[in-house]
Structure 1
Amino acid sequence: MPITPVKTLVAKARDVIVTLPQDRAEAMVEAGEALFVDIRDIRELDREGRIPGAIHAPRGMLEFWVDPESPYFKPVFETDKTLILFCASAWRSALATRDLQNMGFENVAEMEGGFSQWKARGAAIEKA
């Protein structure tokens, strides 16, 4: 039996999630309506830099960190602000956004284009 290609999984996730243009996502964070959540691996952050003020929640721990019943819960996620997830190129973030929706989160979205697009457009970056 063939596997479902990851491109198909990402496309299906995008059918059910909100993808915000970068300028809209940035405006929401600046207005205090949202939080950026960087789900990239720590090595990517060290190599490429970070969006100032973004919360780092590695993809492998995200569901555990946002769940109040998890022993790994992080209180920063106890918020009514929209969580705007991003990764390098908006594939992992699409799947992660869908997974958080499946957990019951309503205020969650992904940022279009991910960190690669953020960096390419010259937006603010902090280096390690």
Structure 2
Amino acid sequence: MARGYKEMLDEADAQVQSVTTEEMAARLGDDGLVMVDIRDPRELEREGMVPGAFHAPRGMLEFWIDPESPYHKPRFAEGKTYVFYCASGWRSLLAAKLAQEMGLEARSMRGGFKDWHASGKPVAEMPRKS
């Protein structure tokens, strides 16, 4: 029988260390950490993002992380801790599990951008492509 999303989230939650928005706010600007926003570009345009975060659309993660991929992004080869976030934390929990399986030191931010914004933490506009 196929697994549903709840089973997949439970499995990921058992394997991935999660951090709170408070912990992440205290670590903004930490050189050993990369915040990775995996939301759709329309979400970023509409709502903004965590200042200094790197945008990596969820649909491209496997390709951007894998150094053998023609789409590899060097940002994922820096040997840092990668903290993934989405709107509420579900997509980022699954993304962090995937990144961990691909060899990255990965975490997921509980509550996602929704909690970040609701608690009054700083928000930046999505950088425009030139």
1:36 maps to what in 2? 35
Question: Over residues 64-91 of structure 1, what are the superposed CA-to-partner deviations in whole Å (9 max), with x where a residue is unaligned?
Answer: 1111110001111221210000000000
Of residues 110, 113, 116, the one that matches 1:115 is 113
Q: Hey, what's the Cα distance between the residues in 1 that align with 2:69 and 2:44? A: 25
In the alignment, is the contact (CA less than 8 A) between 1:67 and 1:73 conserved in 2? yes
Q: Which runs of 5+ in 1 are unaligned?
A: none
- 1:17-96 matches, cutoff 5 A: 17-96=16-95
TM-score between both structures, scaled by the size of structure 1: 0.91
> Which aligned segments of 4 or more residues in structure 1 are displaced greater than 2 angstroms?
25-31
In the alignment, is the contact (CA less than 8 A) between 2:49 and 2:124 conserved in 1? yes
The alpha-carbon distance between structure 1 residues 30 and 23, as it changes in their structure 2 partners (threshold 3 A), is farther
Question: Over residues 22-70 of structure 1, what are the superposed CA-to-partner deviations in whole Å (9 max), with x where a residue is unaligned?
Answer: 2222333433220100000001101111111100000000111111110
Count of aligned residue pairs for this structure pair? 126
In the alignment, is the contact (CA less than 8 A) between 2:25 and 2:121 conserved in 1? no
1:6 maps to what in 2? 5
SS of alignment partner, residue 109 of structure 1: strand
SS of alignment partner, residue 61 of structure 1: helix
SS of alignment partner, residue 96 of structure 2: helix
Question: Over residues 102-126 of structure 1, what are the superposed CA-to-partner deviations in whole Å (9 max), with x where a residue is unaligned?
Answer: 1122x11011110000010011112
Aligned residues: CA RMSD: 1.4
Q: Hey, what's the Cα distance between the residues in 2 that align with 1:38 and 1:82? A: 14
Q: Which runs of 5+ in 2 are unaligned?
A: none
